[in-house]
Structure 1
């Protein structure tokens, strides 16, 4: 049979199976069985294969995977894949799969050139789709680097991009460059180059290669041909405003212009500056000079430099109009002026050889050839010789000041005022513009919330507000010319009572406080009782705080009643004081107390006043206590305490405190202490069938307990007996079995005790051992042995193998007799057999023949 044909013989039936029929399989088929033949004709009809799920366009990023999938209408249809008419075959990058009617094409890693049409063909059906590949953003593998090129040579800038097809643009500064005689733009694989031909100094700049998503820049420098100075600059001296010129010669003509500096200032060609180059000769011309140009002149070209000194002399200044003497009256102004030629750039003024600066006193001006000094508000100190100097020329003149006479027209007048009142002082001078300063007792005064200073014409006024007695003294008004003073007297206000005393009724043995308030915080007062002055003592305390005045009387008695007065100056306030009898009450009553038996506690009662002469009585449960036993009563001042030590249950009851007919009641509650286990359970070991007893001691007799085994409650039964013998709790376990082993717990309300019970078998042994047996094949063998006590656990073994009850092996136990029956014996049953009861074992040999 061939690969596509199957021949099957089953009984008298013969079959020919043709797999995957094709048109070429059509024809007549003959089955030849030597003596007989039969034939049949096969006609193959073409099938119509259709695409049930067509391909779909796929778009991916470069270097990602892409998958195409489609389904056909029939099974076992051969399929072909094409990309742009080229048949695809499996490779490292291409995977072709078929699962039933689903056909899949997988590109593991696509490149830009993989983009195009993908086609699937299955017999007469086909499906097409497009693979679109988005190129990855261009990145820079190597950026541009700064380059230096020799003048008139060729310079190359180069970078490397991530994709050979990347398009780039070149820029010089911000100007895009195009290919031509000057610039060559080269793309060589991943490399991008810019070639600059015939390099000139003006080619120096920042060059940028722009690849769209990324760009890189670098500096391009031009190194000039070596140039030296063969004839340097020479120093020059001129008088302003004559021109000055400097000349320098280089070894070769310069392409790049040189740099000229005057001092640190770079010179540029302009109105006053001329820059020329004639071959190798360079000239600088300063058409109009001035003295401020004096300094060094520098010529720099390439790495060469030459310097010279320029000196510009001033034109001598000559005085053409001198200063004239001036006289002025005090507080007036004078003006000094003189002329120079030519107009000076600056002048300096002096007074008696002291340089002057512009200020509120001196105003200076220089206008063309004229210099002016204005002296404002003349004082006698401004008199003297003034000098104006411009270069070597100078002029001097004297200024005299006529002092004025200031007189007092109306002097200050002495004044008196009441405390917190207002007082006004004023004086009149002969001149309106005379300024004065006010002071009180030597302290300068200014306009504020307590002082008001004014000046109208020749009249000067001072108003003092809310004066105090401390302000008494001298008020002065002083100016540079005159000084006047007057006396101020401030009288204190009469002291009055702002709050009078009140009549008071107080309790005997208590404390009395009388309080009033005066208008003067410093005022002294006198206290009297029934006309007798009182002084400090243990009986009396006095209060003097701000305006408050007070008297405190301690430990009052009926003798302290009377008329109390407080006097300040001529004013007096009174208080009638009465003292009433002492009233004693209970201010803190007894409180109920609850304690455990054997603990201590106390009861406390407090009176409003001490009463040492009146005895107190304590009763507990109707019985008077406090003098002996475990009851103890004490008094501390107003506090009465009853202490109960080691309280017993019999002490419980009502507690009553009595004194002076006063009574306070409370309860004493004694709670029983919870029962504790004083002697715990002990672990026990016993043998099968024995009775075992577990017991513990309790702190109090007759207490009920709970018994538990392995956490489960135990009740009285034939198995368990629960006993109580005084303070002893007992659990009896009858006829212990192995199941009785475990953890037993005795539990009270407050505590518990746990112990373990271990039940062991009695020592057992074999009284009759197994005997060896010889039995014929297919027969039955019976092993028999006897124990001293009934065995609870029996294990039979054949060799090392433990035997289980079955039709082959039948173990049995009748009282002390143990048997193993082996049925349908075979030679393989021959072995050593063991009977194991845990504490002993016996063995015998079985031979099957």
Structure 2
């Protein structure tokens, strides 16, 4: 059965007639009854054009509101699509798509700023569009921040409620941005923002600020001090010298600021004084107590100033380990040490009855209750008694020094230097010597301006030769008694360096060409070469010397002079090019 829609306008009424195959067709228009009996043949139906009866309109809303778009067509279509910013939309919790015969509806709920853009309806050839404009919702404070007052160690909580949610927010305390941690926690539930500050301290007191968009309200955090009470008092301590004293006090709560005093002098942490805190317990440890430390120990925290007494008793001095006899060879070091039961402030060392003072050959050390004496470069005349004294205590030992055979422990070494430098020759003997001589190239030398003799300690002998010349090259010898040592002195010439090199020259015939080279030092043995032939001074060729500068002057240059010019020494070969331009004479007519 084909359906034929006939649109026939007659006065005010549009008639529709279903045509069942062939037969009579009747149409009603107002009250007129028109009938006919045409013979109709059925034909395939054709799609009617689609028109927009009511078009889309731009929608402007605030964030979180709902945007509604609606369009009406001239006839219904089963297939259609909605697009937002070019992306096809599908029904979700926040998107509703409806069709009511020829009317099509799109509902966008909980809109955000990022939704703003073009909305397109697509059905057949139709693609009408409209704009969705989403405006930021003004931020208003529903419930503002309030000042909070807590005691130390308590938790302070701040809360603010806005008319809408802003995910980018910050909390500040005393102008500093707060980060989450053990003592800082903040959260967001719907439109309510909360901040919790745990274990508050007096130093936390100040302004708390919340920032979210244009909203920057503040409140004040007030932290009240808890009263301080003593749970366990300080106790007096009695001990002997060099022992360790510990004083401890326990309060009713932890505090931040406190001080320890000994005899009214502030104690600060050091290797000897250790300050410790464990919750509300406070302890000071004083190591290696001395008699002068005896007195009052005081702890101060706010109004509290409890005290206790440190009593230090003197220990009787006793020898734990006596001095031992020592035997060394000449020039060696003899070491003596004695150990007492405790350190003493005053003590003395004696050698052969004479009081010793620290110097290059006498060194005294103390390591706790141990006292040491070092005698360097011992000689045969040092043999004798060594004694340690402190108070009424005395301990003695014998120093034995054995003679060393005269021999060379370290020989002379060859030295190689440049002219003008200094050469140093050094020899080490096994024992001190009384007579010695230095020789250079077989001739004995004595100290003078450029020659110095030195002795380091009792065993090392050296000669220093300054401003050496190549002529000084030869043997250097040291002789003492039957012993001798020889080494070579090699003095090398200072290498010549080029300061300013030769440069190419270009002249006309009959002109003068000049080549110049500047060296780091004067040279006496040199050669000027022109085209492989050595030059010699003549009427045309002139050699000039100006300190470190050598100059070649060629007068009356000729075309046949063209070619390389070389300057040669034992270590240098420099070259440049001489160019001579010919003079063209005018042709006579």
Alignment TM-score, normalising by the size of structure 2: 0.41
Higher relative contact order (CA 8 A, sep 6+): 2
Structure of greater Rg: 1
Alignment TM-score, normalising by the size of structure 1: 0.31
